[in-house]
Structure 1
Amino acid sequence: MPHATATVNGVLVAETDSYEVVDGNIYFPPSAIKESHFTPTSTKTHCPYKGEASYYTITTNKTEVKDA
């Protein structure tokens, strides 16, 4: 499995060698995220296929992404 990274406007917010791929999307384990960039939001959704989802605002020195 290749190394996976996630960036927001060039800032690394997650990286790992162990992840899941579902429908072409990479799902990082909680231990892979840079927690200082993530703030939980109140948004929750349910998918019968993937289960419960929680959302976060990702903040870097360059931008803010809500409900990511």
Structure 2
Amino acid sequence: MKAVLDGVTIAEADKDDLVRIEGNWYWPPVAVTENALAESPTPYTCPWKGEAQYFSVSKDGAALTDGAWSYPTPYPTAIERVGRDFSGYVAFDPKVQIVD
């Protein structure tokens, strides 16, 4: 699968390597194109997943402020609920096209 913003691939991985949570695909960090994400100061804490880290997406002319997020250290109960450790996995804003 690929995550594509304005025609630029910003992540690519086998579907089996991704985690689906609340309708969003979460990509392992190694699947994200190098230097495509820059940490954002935008704060957010999910009541059941924990503290999120937002990122701005920028690669080859494609850009989206706060276009990605991850949970570096999700709550243990969140990992249990999902059934898989998704620490550091990256999800993308709906403006990023997910191609199967």
Same fold? TM cut 0.5: yes
Q: What are the equivalent positions in structure 2 for 1:27-66 lying under 5 Å apart?
A: 27-66=26-65
Secondary structure (helix, strand or coil) at the match of 2:43 reads: strand
Unaligned runs of 5+ in 1: none
Question: How many pairs are equivalent?
Answer: 65
Stretch moving more, 24-33 or 55-64: 55-64
CA distance in 1, matches of 2:20, 2:26: 6
Q: Which residue of 2 aligns with 1:12?
A: 9
Q: Which has the higher strand share?
A: 1
| TM superposition outliers: structure 1 runs of 4+ over 3 Å | none
Query: Letter of the aligned partner of 1:23 in structure 2?
Result: E
TM-score (norm. length: structure 1):
0.82
| 2:39–2:54 Cα contact (<8 Å) kept | yes
CA RMSD of aligned residues (A): 1.3
Unaligned runs of 5+ in 2: 68-100
Q: Which has the higher helix share?
A: 2
Identity rate of aligned residues, in percent?
34
